Chain A
């Protein structure tokens, strides 16, 4: 059982997944940020692999990726840092990236390396489901590695079924037709969509992401899904941080319900 599966076996609500870009704000901040997030009560660490040409990322995450690349981050270094982080924690770690980076590393080597350094799952939003199914599904099963696909407001029922079937870990519910870090907040129309999508009857937990930024939007998302993902708002907090530990502790305590451990 990998750490993600274990988490979901123990916890089904208010799951907080925080995204941050590897190599940002400074090249070697990954371990410190990861541990501070864990101490603050975050459930999942989602580490972004910085990419030169991301398509679904808004300006905040794009800028953090550019800075990270300028700092010298690359896939090999990222694996080293994650391996280091893993020595100090058992929190579930997932990697989010673009398929091209995985291709250049060598797909099979990349996924095996994930397992080796203690990564529990991956999100590759531009990897087609048919590519996963035909080429990598067996390997993921062998490695017991999680794979998360996105669902969006226009995703059809038949497609939800396919995604549920292929998912290992959780389903990523994109909150609206937008790139990351959009307007923010949750509208009534979005709530109707959350209602529809989360009542589908998933075999896997669902986490809502894109535009989740504060206690209010987190609470709304958690009404419908098992939890939520916060990215851009956290990156913005890091950008202004003088003291990472303090910033992170403040940021997370603002988000989580008071009675949460």
Chain B
């Protein structure tokens, strides 16, 4: 699904940016497709995804999990990528783009730290300066990833305003970009931000569903599953997992948001339920805000889903009914994380655990094919898992 010339999916998207960013964004908008679609770019992108990232990521039939839910569950193992999540698909693409644009300095925002690590990694690979903005709260709860970024040579700058989480890190990154428009490329980590970012990031992540098609064909003899489940904060892993099935209405697309302590507790990040139309980080989409248009600080146990907005593509898919939305609370996610660890030997990232929690809420036919996008591994979340161990073991 491609946005229109101004970057809208239906009524969501666009580029709501101050003039200081206009030349950068315009140049990107006019050139990203040409660059990405060129043979030389594709050749290098694919070669790095294969040899450096370790793609294709396996599509694994989770037998014991399938038995528990009495259906056929496949896990798309993005957790097995280099750096431990799907985020690197995008940073590989964007670093090649940044080189094409002649940029020398890379900035990024990060929540869980997975995008920060993936950005620091590709900057190390290409020898570019890397600055990652991260909320102070997230720096604390995702300490292992902070250390990884530093070891990879990146500078981690704390975002100290607002809720000191992903939203504030994004604000700081945009401010940095405004102050350094010429030499700097901003690698946004999700399908958010001004056009063309949502489309660009979705394109880089679309490798997930591209692989799913032939992998399903090998496993079950057809390219299409009945359902695809993915967690949504900004929505990059979901965009990638849904991408090649968007036009096939027979495939159910299920986006799982973080309900935090519960949707109506005031401590939640379930944007599509709690949000209304507005502008955040340069795009028109759904966001959590007051009547006065002040952005509400979200909450989720998972730093990667702790975001008050949602990518404009998802806002469109949800509002038009193409995608269904479920939400999982902190506890439901933790429970699902423990379950997968116990019966499949896979410790999922807390973000991905939200997608797994949806299995508990849905009913499937015995012969149904369900794909859960396992967007990342749980190493970074061990401290959180262990903190709640006594309740879920």
Are these two chains actual partners, yes or no? yes
Residues A100 and B289 in contact, CB atoms below 8 Å apart: yes
Alpha-carbon distance between A126 and B25 when the two chains are bound, in angstroms:
13
Alpha-carbon distance between A114 and B171 when the two chains are bound, in angstroms:
28
Residues A55 and B174 in contact, CB atoms below 8 Å apart: yes
Residues B20 and A174 in contact, CB atoms below 8 Å apart: yes
Partner of A179, one of B24, B175, B294: B175
Any chain B CB within 8 A of the CB of A178?
yes
Any chain B CB within 8 A of the CB of A53?
yes
Interface size on A, residues (CB 8 A): 40
Binds B, one of A36-44, A153-161, A230-238: A153-161
| A residues in contact with B16, CB < 8 Å | 99, 126-128, 131
| B residues in contact with A138, CB < 8 Å | none
Q: A152-B20, A155-B23, A177-B180 are in contact. Are A51 and B278 (CB under 8 A)?
A: no
Q: How many A-B residue pairs have CB under 8 A?
A: 111
How far is the CB of A105 from the nearest CB of chain B, in Å?
Answer: 7
Residues A125 and B18 in contact, CB atoms below 8 Å apart: yes
Alpha-carbon distance between A100 and B16 when the two chains are bound, in angstroms:
10
Interface flags for B278-289 (1: CB within 8 Å of A; 0: not) read: 111110000101
Residues B19 and A152 in contact, CB atoms below 8 Å apart: yes
Interface flags for A99-121 (1: CB within 8 Å of B; 0: not) read: 11111110000000000000000
How far is the CB of A114 from the nearest CB of chain B, in Å?
Answer: 15
Contact residues of A between 125 and 151, Cβ < 8 Å to B:
125-128, 130-131, 149-151
How far is the CB of A59 from the nearest CB of chain B, in Å?
Answer: 8
Chain B residue, CB-CB nearest to A51: B294
Chain A residue, CB-CB nearest to B20: A152
Interface SS of A by simple majority: loop
Any chain A CB within 8 A of the CB of B340?
no
Residues A131 and B14 in contact, CB atoms below 8 Å apart: yes
| A residues in contact with B168, CB < 8 Å | 53
Any chain A CB within 8 A of the CB of B149?
no
Interface size on B, residues (CB 8 A): 38
Any chain B CB within 8 A of the CB of A52?
yes
Interface flags for A164-201 (1: CB within 8 Å of B; 0: not) read: 00000000001001110010000000000000000000
Any chain A CB within 8 A of the CB of B336?
no
Residues A56 and B175 in contact, CB atoms below 8 Å apart: yes
| A residues in contact with B261, CB < 8 Å | none
Residues A99 and B19 in contact, CB atoms below 8 Å apart: no
Partner of B292, one of A75, A150, A174: A75
Contact residues of B between 100 and 151, Cβ < 8 Å to A:
none
Q: A126-B16, A126-B17, A179-B179 are in contact. Are A55 and B23 (CB under 8 A)?
A: no
Contact residues of B between 174 and 205, Cβ < 8 Å to A:
174-175, 178-182
| A residues in contact with B180, CB < 8 Å | 177
Residues A74 and B292 in contact, CB atoms below 8 Å apart: yes
Alpha-carbon distance between A12 and B175 when the two chains are bound, in angstroms:
33
| A residues in contact with B292, CB < 8 Å | 74-76, 101, 104
Partner of A152, one of B22, B162, B287: B22
Any chain A CB within 8 A of the CB of B341?
no
Q: A51-B294, A101-B293, A104-B293 are in contact. Are A56 and B20 (CB under 8 A)?
A: yes
Partner of A150, one of B19, B23, B24: B19
Any chain B CB within 8 A of the CB of A21?
no
How far is the CB of A122 from the nearest CB of chain B, in Å?
Answer: 15
Any chain B CB within 8 A of the CB of A17?
no
Residues B19 and A100 in contact, CB atoms below 8 Å apart: no
Chain B residue, CB-CB nearest to A59: B161
Residues A53 and B19 in contact, CB atoms below 8 Å apart: no
Any chain B CB within 8 A of the CB of A69?
yes
Give the interface of A toward B (CB within 8 A): 51-56, 58, 62, 66, 69, 74-76, 98-105, 125-128, 130-131, 149-152, 154-156, 159, 174, 177-179, 182
Closest CB pairs A-B (n = 3): A104-B293, A101-B293, A150-B19
Pull 20 A–B residue pairs with CB atoms less than 8 Å apart, ordered by A: A51-B293, A52-B162, A53-B171, A53-B280, A53-B295, A54-B171, A55-B175, A75-B292, A76-B292, A100-B289, A100-B293, A100-B295, A126-B17, A128-B17, A154-B182, A155-B23, A177-B178, A177-B179, A179-B179, A182-B179
